[in-house]
Chain A
């Protein structure tokens, strides 16, 4: 009774810390390591957005905003979503959150009852699984490795039971950079409507797509708005990770529930960050495009590098990650990543951090300067060929 251990939530004790933490600890304070382990742009936020924040600080705009977020920002978000054939009412269907992470947490808590099942397409961003599990629900892992890291309608439908409440998708994907093709999304939409489940569609990388592709939101298919939560934010495309501005768009009845959680747990996203994000939507398109082209060039460099090493890669179509198959080295993901740091001074993240199905893969982020990328590829090649680092 009231032993130290009993003074914590049993549920929380059962949640594992982020597997990424361990690799972070391995490289902390070391400047001899090239890190491909980051999950954010290497560009600072474009100046117009930073300058806009200064202006509002100078003007003394330091109050709370509406729980919903600034009206102008929600209007601008609704106009932006229209670009993807999405029609959301900024007053009742758009909510500004503290990053996409808060939005995911709030939506899951607003829809889940104990015993519900949530299908998560893996590998995926590290927060999906714990945020599902904390709701006393069953996490149902959809291993997308056999289908080139793209979830299919068929594989999803096989996992659906009467208890299934929601499906979590991310396209373009962290950690693989893969996109769900529009025709597959259309089939997934039919499965979702047939079984009347929610889709949490994480679209935070939607601007960063390559080779002339265009992002398609699952919410844009006929009748899907009623079943979809669109999750998006400014961190990746606008290089605004530290500002913590995300948003969600969903039907008003679900929003009424999510809004309560958001209101009670956060009040609102920081006002100066909201103004900076608004400026991003107003004037940031050219900067976003400049960064997108640069990521595309670096993705090509990485694909070429892994081809030279003979490591197979499912070609990333968006985001800024590449997810090579390292199984021919005979090492596990974790052994590969550990050896890579200790002996070759390059940090990558083991695929297993993003889901059980990703054993044998590692995530490399290529949002790093070209000279460092080339050196990291050179070192990785030495390791794959069993040669020591000179």
Chain B
């Protein structure tokens, strides 16, 4: 099962046929395993990884990492507030953190003003939010195991022993 997940995480477009061949299983077995993984919510979705920096600058947008300190609520802890935050479509990721702050939010917006406005208007004003600190992303080097800056090229000699 892990082998199938590893293959799909590297290339979600691999067909069940190819995965079956590569992992020495029948196509029916592979299809059933994938269906079960989808049903169990282990595989949530298949998406394309987009390098925004390669898009036209007008579509590029900005990303920011926001550190938030909060006052946990009795009975709900951090979860209720976290949900109020991650429901916003601008919020791309949200993590509960150990250390100097509590929630880390990753936000995408059209421009700096857009993100700044969202933070001051929507996040900072939430009940329980004590402070926010906004860091804008200047360049993506690597994300989710994918390197954004390399040109991948096969440098091997064509025929060797």
* A residues in contact (CB < 8 Å) with B: 18, 20, 23-24, 27-28, 33, 35, 37-40, 42, 125-127, 174, 211, 293, 297-298, 300-301, 304, 347, 349, 353, 368, 370, 374
Bound CA–CA A368/B152 (angstroms):
13
Query: Quick one: which of B6, B14, B21, B161 has the most chain A CB within 10 A?
Result: B161
Number of A-B residue pairs with CB-CB distance less than 8 Å in the complex they form: 59
Asked if residues A125 and B21 are in contact (CB atoms below 8 Å), the reply is no
A sample of 21 cross-chain residue pairs with beta-carbon separation below 8 angstroms, ordered by A number, consists of: A18-B161, A20-B161, A24-B157, A24-B158, A24-B159, A38-B156, A39-B160, A39-B161, A40-B160, A42-B154, A42-B156, A126-B161, A174-B161, A297-B3, A297-B23, A300-B21, A300-B24, A301-B18, A349-B159, A370-B11, A370-B14
Query: Quick one: which of B3, B14, B23, B24 has the most chain A CB within 10 A?
Result: B24
Q: A38-B156, A42-B156, A370-B11 are in contact. Are A127 and B161 (CB under 8 A)?
A: yes
Asked if residues B22 and A37 are in contact (CB atoms below 8 Å), the reply is no
Q: Enumerate chain B residues within 8 angstroms of A23, measured Cβ to Cβ.
A: 159
When C-beta atoms are compared, the residue in chain A nearest to B11 turns out to be A370
Bound CA–CA A55/B156 (angstroms):
25
Q: A297-B7, A297-B23, A300-B23 are in contact. Are A37 and B18 (CB under 8 A)?
A: no
Bound CA–CA A38/B154 (angstroms):
11
Asked if residues A301 and B158 are in contact (CB atoms below 8 Å), the reply is no
Q: What's the least CB distance linking B159 to chain A, in Å?
A: 4
Bound CA–CA A349/B23 (angstroms):
27
Q: A298-B22, A300-B24, A370-B18 are in contact. Are A293 and B3 (CB under 8 A)?
A: yes
Bound CA–CA A38/B157 (angstroms):
7
**A125 touches which of B3, B11, B18, B161 (Cβ 8 Å):** B161
Q: What's the least CB distance linking A290 to chain B, in Å?
A: 9
Asked if residues B21 and A38 are in contact (CB atoms below 8 Å), the reply is no
Top 10 A-B residue pairs of the complex, sorted by shortest distance between their CB atoms:
A37-B159, A297-B22, A24-B159, A39-B160, A304-B21, A126-B161, A27-B158, A35-B158, A23-B159, A39-B161
Interfacial residues of chain B within 144-161, with CB under 8 A of chain A in the complex: 154, 156-161
When C-beta atoms are compared, the residue in chain A nearest to B18 turns out to be A301
Interfacial residues of chain B within 57-116, with CB under 8 A of chain A in the complex: none
Q: What's the least CB distance linking A131 to chain B, in Å?
A: 12
